[in-house]
Amino acid sequence: MKTVIKNADEKMGKTVNHLETQFSEVRAGRANPSVLDKVRIDYYGTPTPVNQVAAVSVTEARTLTIQPWDSSLLRTIEKAIQTSDVGINPQNDGKVIRMIFPPLSEDRRKDIVKDIAKMGEEAKVAVRAIRREAMDKLKSMKKSGEITEDDQKHGEKKIQDITDSHIKSIDSATEKKQKQIMEI
């Protein structure tokens, strides 16, 4: 029974972490180095993340600066950013690449907030599915005689408490991200 509860808790935790990762990739009109997490360049035949071949820093609120350790990679990094789905055109001055994030319009902000709410709802659905799976396991363990009815009730309550806590953290992460997007 403890392993069922522990597995459910771990899976729910991973769901919340995945949601927070998704939120970090949402462009909020501010420079954020995590927008480059999915951008890979060909470095000696190996697809390598940009942050492993260059110093990526936020120099101003809306400017991201990428300074490769090997200056011969400037064009490669620039091309990788252009072909990615980041949606910002990099500016190469021969030494560093600058990415200037444009401010978001009010309509675009509202669309992003809706997308964030949708992501939050999908995460909640995933957490509830994990809860249902764990509850079903407890029921089958009760049927097979592995646990008593009291153990089953105790386990279900514990799983429900874990679910409530993860749903609460999803709600707070969603709310926090929505407020961040709506700030000008």
Please name every residue paired with 180 in a beta bridge, in sequence order, or none if there are none.
none
User: So what's the pLDDT on residue 126?
Assistant: 95
User: So what's the pLDDT on residue 10?
Assistant: 95
User: So what's the pLDDT on residue 184?
Assistant: 60
- Which of 100, 119, 136 marks a domain boundary? 100
The parts of the chain modelled with pLDDT lower than 50 are none
* pTM score over 0.85: no
The SS3 assignment for 135 reads helix
- Annotate 34-64 with three-state secondary structure: HHHCCCEEEECCEEEEHHHCEEEEEEECCEE
Task: Report how many domains make up the chain.
Answer: 2
User: So what's the pLDDT on residue 174?
Assistant: 94
Let me know whether 112 and 168 are in one domain. yes
User: So what's the pLDDT on residue 27?
Assistant: 67
- Find the domain containing 82 and state its range: 33-100
User: What CATH number did the domain enclosing 139 receive?
Assistant: 1.10.132.20
User: So what's the pLDDT on residue 14?
Assistant: 94
Of 37, 29, 12, nearest in space to 184 by CA: 29
The SS3 assignment for 161 reads helix
Let me know whether 11 and 54 are in one domain. no
User: So what's the pLDDT on residue 100?
Assistant: 86
Let me know whether 52 and 141 are in one domain. no
Please name every residue paired with 99 in a beta bridge, in sequence order, or none if there are none.
64
